[in-house]
Structure 1
Amino acid sequence: MAKFLTLNTHSWLGEDPQKNLKILGQKIIKEDYDVIALQEINQLKDSPATTNNYYDLKNQHQLHEDNYGLKLVEYLQQQGVNYYFVWTYNHIGYDKYHEGVALLSKQPFTATKSVLTSSMDDEFDYHTRRALLGKTTVSGQEIWTISSHFSWWKDGFKDEWARLENSLQGETLPLVIMGDFNNPENTPGHDLIINSPLGLKDSYLAAKEVIGGPTIQKDIDGWEGNEQALRIDFIFVSEQFEVSKNQVVFDGKNEALISDHFGVECLVK
């Protein structure tokens, strides 16, 4: 069995982010996730660069000391729990942050790459998006894991998905694609993924046991004016995986609400 978690952390932007980071860390320790995909992993533009020898992607922006993913990994290490960590930079967020996506894995990454999914590559344009791919091992099986934060349908999701899809064509290893897709269930964007030649299924729809549903409540950043709860955070897995359980977490019910998104975890074999 393997356990995955995805969460758009909204890092450093909510109330008491240091407390939220510890809540996330304690959840990771408790659940012992194999791989974790995180989005909106921020660092201040003018904060010091880290001297820690964490795994960096080639030709990527320098990791800073206050990188939210780095601080999370350091917190876990202080608790005696070790995760391998990699981060890629997307664009400037809220005028002051380098914003990106991250992957954490219990096992080493044997290969990583950053795929530019957007049509532009300009850190000053929030449409600039990259997916982070990490090859690692779960339950003795080698897989590709992906952390992604896509644009809305109207802002180019179709083309962004096609670029990620093309980068994965020909891959023979199973896939686990996680993240904030900004395209709810029963929309063209979600349908595009379900019908992808990559052979993917939505862990929520495939799971034998499902707990929870929506991952955002109405009006949040990027969904201004939205009047309904939506499921926009997903874990898509290759067809050969059997999904035992899919659960929404950090929804303010079973665990504290630590972001403007809820998290999603799934158990597969």
Structure 2
Amino acid sequence: SLGQGQVYIHWSTDRWKHAQKTACHFKSMFWDKTTQSNARNPNQYDIAIWKGWIRAGQCFRLEYAVSFETEHQIIWDNNHGRNYVLSHDPLKILILNLHCYQEDNQDYKLSQIARAIDDMKADIVCLQEVAEPWNDGMGDWENNSAKIINERLPEPFHIYTDWSHLGFDKYREGVAILSRYPFIKQDARYVSDSHDAYSIHSRKVVMGQFNVPLIGLVNVYSAHLSWLEDGFEAQFNRLNDWAQHNHNARIKATLLCGDFNIVAGSSGYDLVVNSNAYEDQYLEATAHGVFEKVFRVNDPYWHDYMADDYRIDYIFMNKASELKVTSGRTVFTDKDYGFVSDHCGYYMTFEPK
């Protein structure tokens, strides 16, 4: 009824910053699954079969719509305004403070964490309050909590961990990164004034660099910083300087992950916002309107919008990064895997912008 026309595929691999148009070809014959034989096109139901090939190369995400164009009109199929999407899996990151072996049913909870990592198909896991027995300062690697979680995965990840101080008078306490991808570079350093192993104010951060398929190089830092009154500002400034030094044109994203011991909306959080270098990715994923007030227009009343947000665990992403957060959720609550720590975990996904 539309008369003679041509079918086209309109497509983009960079979220429509650039678009291409590919013509489809009318197939005079096609394979009819009903009769298991060749059939003429159009068939008895007036369905016309067209075929087109898109040469998209090694892209992460492909969006497309279809048009039927005649001399007088264009008929669109763009999935009800959403366009059709083919995409690789996003980069999936989980952060969690383990509570330094202070949990009841600790062994079961370590297994629950491993189960969640596997179920959610996490790619990178940043852990804080990672513990192993003190053992006169020598540690006990076989009983390291991050190592145990990793060994309970169906396929263990690459792991890097380091400790900073004596925790709860009986553990070497530190931070860790578990990664599905090999470490290209790894490093650990104190960001605190104190380097004293017997001081709880001694804080060390670990970092890893990874080559994420179809995304590129990503720098990830697992941090557990002190409370504001105990040195947060100096520690964050050192971490920021370190991360900025490692960020260059080759790096697609820099992510500061973990327990920052600053409540969302507090003066410590204000310090991060005013650094004008990092943005709160959970807020961006789950409360876009609030995110705009905090990071885009710097609404003088933005603190009021975060009055009920008591998070102290974050993924802060460098504004120069080429990724965008696509989802965020709280995990390890009574709604999913149960409480495994005195902290909830946060799970976020990222794609190229």
Structure 2 length normalisation: TM-score?
0.64
1:131-185 deviation line (CA, Å, top 9, x unaligned): 1111112233111101000100010100000111111223212211110111011
Q: 1:25-104 alignment to 2 at 5 Å?
A: 25-46=114-135, 64-76=141-153, 79=154, 81-104=155-178
Q: Aligned residue for 1:193? A: 272
Q: Which has the higher contact order (CA 8 A, sep 6+)?
A: 1
- Residue 184 (structure 2) aligned to one of 94, 110, 115: 110
- 1:122 to 2:211 alignment: no
1:98-121 deviation line (CA, Å, top 9, x unaligned): 000000000111111112111010
Q: What is the DSSP-based 3-state SS (H/G/I as helix, E as strand, rest coil) of the residue aligned with 2:135?
A: coil
Are the structure 2 counterparts of residues 63 and 175 from structure 1 closer, same or farther at C-alpha, using a change threshold of 3 Å?
A: farther
1:51-106 deviation line (CA, Å, top 9, x unaligned): xxxxxxxxxx7662100111111111xx2x12000101110001000000000000
- Residue 232 (structure 1) aligned to one of 312, 326, 329: 312
Is the CA contact (8 Å cut-off) linking 1:42 and 1:98 kept in structure 2?
yes
Q: Structure 1: which amino acid aligns with 2:219? A: W
Q: What is the DSSP-based 3-state SS (H/G/I as helix, E as strand, rest coil) of the residue aligned with 1:260?
A: coil
Q: Structure 2: which amino acid aligns with 1:186? A: G
Q: Aligned residue for 2:256? A: 177
Q: Any gaps of 5 or more consecutive residues in structure 2?
A: 1-89, 289-307
State how far apart, in whole Å, the 2-side matches of 1:251 and 1:125 are: 31
Is the CA contact (8 Å cut-off) linking 2:99 and 2:342 kept in structure 1?
yes
Q: 1:242-257 alignment to 2 at 5 Å?
A: 242-257=324-339
Are the structure 2 counterparts of residues 36 and 97 from structure 1 closer, same or farther at C-alpha, using a change threshold of 3 Å?
A: same
State how far apart, in whole Å, the 1-side matches of 2:275 and 2:211 are: 24
Is the CA contact (8 Å cut-off) linking 1:2 and 1:139 kept in structure 2?
no
RMSD: 2.0
State how far apart, in whole Å, the 1-side matches of 2:263 and 2:117 are: 26
- What percentage of aligned pairs have identical amino acids? 30
Is the CA contact (8 Å cut-off) linking 1:208 and 1:244 kept in structure 2?
no
Q: Structure 2: which amino acid aligns with 1:28? A: I
Q: Any gaps of 5 or more consecutive residues in structure 1?
A: 50-60, 211-227
Are the structure 2 counterparts of residues 208 and 46 from structure 1 closer, same or farther at C-alpha, using a change threshold of 3 Å?
A: closer
Q: Aligned residue for 2:53? A: none
Q: Aligned residue for 1:146? A: 221
State how far apart, in whole Å, the 2-side matches of 1:66 and 1:254 are: 26
Larger Rg over CA atoms:
2
Structure 1 length normalisation: TM-score?
0.83
Are the structure 2 counterparts of residues 186 and 251 from structure 1 closer, same or farther at C-alpha, using a change threshold of 3 Å?
A: same
Are the structure 2 counterparts of residues 104 and 63 from structure 1 closer, same or farther at C-alpha, using a change threshold of 3 Å?
A: farther
* Aligned-residue offset at 1:208: 5.7
Is the CA contact (8 Å cut-off) linking 2:100 and 2:173 kept in structure 1?
no
Q: What is the DSSP-based 3-state SS (H/G/I as helix, E as strand, rest coil) of the residue aligned with 1:236?
A: strand
Q: What is the DSSP-based 3-state SS (H/G/I as helix, E as strand, rest coil) of the residue aligned with 1:242?
A: strand
* Aligned-residue offset at 1:14: 0.4
* Aligned-residue offset at 1:11: 3.6
Is the CA contact (8 Å cut-off) linking 2:100 and 2:167 kept in structure 1?
no
Size of the aligned set, in residue pairs, is 236
My pick for the range that moved more, 136-145 or 31-40, is 136-145
Q: What is the DSSP-based 3-state SS (H/G/I as helix, E as strand, rest coil) of the residue aligned with 2:348?
A: strand
Q: What is the DSSP-based 3-state SS (H/G/I as helix, E as strand, rest coil) of the residue aligned with 1:254?
A: coil
Is the CA contact (8 Å cut-off) linking 2:134 and 2:140 kept in structure 1?
no
- Residue 203 (structure 1) aligned to one of 251, 264, 281: 281
Is the CA contact (8 Å cut-off) linking 1:208 and 1:243 kept in structure 2?
no
* Aligned-residue offset at 1:238: 2.7
